[in-house]
Amino acid sequence: MRRLLVLGAGTAGTILVNKLSRRLSKTEWDIAVVDGSRSHVYQPGLVFVPFGRYEEADLMRPTRAQLPAGVSLIEGEVELVDPGSNLVRLVDGTEIEYDQLVIATGTHPRPDQTEGLMGDGWRTDVHEFYTHEGAFALRDRLTRFAGGDLVVHVSEMPIKCPVAPLEFAFLADAHFRGKGMRDKVTITYVTPLPGAFTKPIAGAHLGGMLESRGIGLEPDFMVEHVEDGALVSYDERSIAFDLLVTVPVNMGAPFVGKSGLGDELDHVRVDPHNFLVPDTDNVFAIGDAAALPTSKAGSSAHFAVDVFCENFVEHIDGHPMTHSYDGHANCFVESGDGKALLIDFNYDTEPLPGSFPFAGVGPMRLLKETRLNHLGKLAFEPVYWNVLLPGRWLPISTDMSMTGKHRPES
């Protein structure tokens, strides 16, 4: 009996084991998952929590219930991976052998990486919404916010769901307008990027949306520390705030660095097309845990897992891996007032305007605010629990298609 060991039962790890449990012989393969959390969180919903849309019960379900029968769940935290010995050691000293290993432990906010961020203002005037606890604490703070300088801030890239801080800024604008107090709130979007987004066409479009809503943009801001109610950059710029909503530095699991598998942020170095860790033939990393030049998002995990599973079946049978991930990702960008945009891109092609998934008819519009895109964002929640996580078929191509897309005239 051979063992497939998957570290992490988040989006990527859960989809993967659900798909492979139907592909691998139960008489030849044992599948086990290591995860320290008893609850699986619907992370796309966290950006809505501060504005009162979701309650805790809407976002969390038991981890065990999302995994298929016959897959073992080992509750614990990974201390070290030893690829030379095909061994994983947990913090409690437990050692687990494997024949094939997949690291799917995600990326996580690390506010401790920015000096002063977790000072006296933490969870009072300094907040984040990338964790369950943080999102609900921010909801409580917004109910008491009477006005002043609201700063929405990105510490460093890459981050999980890179459009989420923009979504928060748009939703905050709509929230305060709805309360009749937008004139009492100054909103500033602070980013280390040269513009609102990483790619020029989408960046110009999203930057224009910030401008039209009266949201200030402070680009090229590399935060050095936080002190006395202000963000301070390495070039000594200072931005004062009454309420700071920050996206802290995102990092992979600490064991990745300890095991010599990671980059400077503890994301696992892999081949970007087949997810194999260099200098190994049985260690892979998938989803947000992997150092890939594309968005760390649920859609990326979905498309990547589709490619991985095909390759994995070939690989364990001793054949070359013939499938290649192209970096495909798509994301709804909530823009407030019951509208959203949709972006679709990959390693080589930036988000472009057009229609999705069919040329002309859509029905979704790319880089355009529509009510239908907003409904698509909301509909993703039941799709996530009932189709995506169980690894069922979705009518969206794994590879990005240029159908319906066009480059705007310069």
Closest CA to 91 of 131, 12, 38, 34: 34
Q: Which CATH superfamily is domain 111-249 in?
A: FAD/NAD(P)-binding domain (3.50.50.60)
Residue 409 pLDDT > 80: no
Q: What angle do CA 165, 167, 172 make, to 5 degrees?
A: 95
pLDDT above 70 coverage of the chain, percent: 100
Question: The pTM is what?
Answer: 0.96
Provide the residue ranges of all domains of the chain, joining segments of one domain with +. Answer: 2-106+253-316, 111-249, 330-388
Closest CA to 67 of 24, 14, 16, 21: 14
pLDDT band at 410 (very low <50, low <70, confident <90, very high): low
Residue 38 pLDDT > 90: yes
User: Contact at 8 Å (CB) between 342 and 372?
Assistant: no
Residue 322 pLDDT > 80: yes
CA–CA separation, 238 and 233 (whole Å): 7
Residue 360 pLDDT > 80: no
Both tokens assigned to 149: 């300088």
Q: Hey, do 2-106+253-316 and 111-249 end up sharing a CATH topology, with the first three levels equal?
A: yes
Q: Which residues contact 319 (CB under 8 A, 6 or more apart)?
A: none
CA–CA separation, 367 and 183 (whole Å): 28
Closest CA to 217 of 183, 247, 192: 192
DSSP 3-state assignment of 41?
Answer: strand
Q: What is the mean pLDDT of residues 287-302?
A: 94
Q: Going along 209-368, which residue ranges are E strands?
A: 216-218, 223-227, 230-233, 238-240, 243-247, 250-252, 283-285, 329-336, 339-345, 354-358, 362-366
Residue 307's alpha-carbon distances to 31, 99, 312, 374, in angstroms, are 19, 20, 9, 28
CA–CA separation, 101 and 88 (whole Å): 9
How far, in whole angstroms, is CA 117 from its chain's centroid?
22
DSSP letter at 385? I
Q: Virtual CA dihedral for 377, 379, 380, 385, nearest 10 degrees?
A: 160
The CATH class given to the 2-106+253-316 domain equals alpha beta
Report pLDDT for 63: 98
**Peptide bond connecting 357 to the previous residue in cis, omega within 30 degrees of 0:** yes
pLDDT above 90 coverage of the chain, percent: 93
Question: Pairing relation of β-strands 2-7 and 100-103?
Answer: parallel
Closest CA to 349 of 163, 199, 208: 199
Element (H, E) at 299: helix 298-316
